[in-house]
Amino acid sequence: MGGTRTSGDRRSPGARGRIDKRQAILDAAFTVFAREGYAQAGVDVIAAEAGVAKATVYNHFRDKENLLREAVAASADQAMAENMAVVGRLSTEDGDLRARMEDVGLRLLRCYCDERSWALRRLLSGEINQFPDLLDIVHGHAVDRVTEALADRMARLTVAGALRARDPLVAAEQFVALLTGPAETRSRLGTREVPDAELRAVARAAVDTFLQAFGAETTDR
């Protein structure tokens, strides 16, 4: 949570537990919370899934609420790292822009459609009324950062003459929307497994539309 580090040294002052156990608990907590929802999830179940005694859970985390926050934060950090790695591939180097954008689009879609990614979004949506601060943890550190990184790349591409995005942030926002929107309906909120071929088609369609609007070359047809 507190930066770009995946996890590890965030042991709160009082807790003195083994680190591997802590990680196992976080993983199990996320899994169970995502599967059953916060209220339905039992700490007993989380402990069992982590292969740990219930008391150990309370040794590492103050209470159930705190456990939820930390589990979500860890998962969001991981998801953001994957997304940022993909965006980094959209460099300003030469080569076929369309092909590179389709590649990036497809990889972003794979991140987006990952089971844990869906689970995170569903969990966030469901518990956001009870825990409004979850939104800051996830959005402030994940979604917005990715879109802005994408906007940076698009600004560079515009300066280089490969694109004409008057407002790079809007362009990035729309590119993401063209990917995630169709993916959302197609995967039925993450309950359906979307075959890779379909993801490729979505990415191609998104890039098509995007380049018609923001491409430098006047693509006829």
Interface residue list for DNA (CB under 7 A): 16-18, 21-22, 40-44, 51-56, 58-60, 63-65
List interacting residues with its own copies (CB under 8 A): 34-40, 121-130, 132, 135, 139, 143-144, 147, 170, 173-174, 176-178, 180-182, 185, 188-189, 191, 205-206, 208-210, 212-214
Listing DSSP states for 60-106 in one string gives: HSSSHHHHHHHHHHHHHHHHHHHHHHHHTT--S-SS-HHHHHHHHHH
User: Residue 21 Cβ, how far from DNA at the closest point, in Å?
Assistant: 4
Task: Give the N- to C-terminal CA distance of the chain in Å, as an integer.
Answer: 47
> 16, 20, 9: which is closest to 61 by C-alpha?
16
Angstrom distance (rounded) from CA 22 to CA 50: 9
User: Residue 208 Cβ, how far from its own copies at the closest point, in Å?
Assistant: 7
User: Residue 9 Cβ, how far from its own copies at the closest point, in Å?
Assistant: 30
Angstrom distance (rounded) from CA 22 to CA 59: 9
3-state secondary structure of 163: strand
Name the residue nearer to DNA (CB basis): 43 or 216.
43
Name the residue nearer to DNA (CB basis): 57 or 79.
57
Name the residue nearer to its own copies (CB basis): 15 or 128.
128
Name the residue nearer to DNA (CB basis): 54 or 110.
54
> 117, 17, 6: which is closest to 62 by C-alpha?
17
User: Residue 88 Cβ, how far from DNA at the closest point, in Å?
Assistant: 36
Contact partner at residue 56 from DNA, its own copies, none, CB < 5 to 8 Å by partner kind: DNA
User: Residue 63 Cβ, how far from DNA at the closest point, in Å?
Assistant: 4
Angstrom distance (rounded) from CA 145 to CA 134: 16
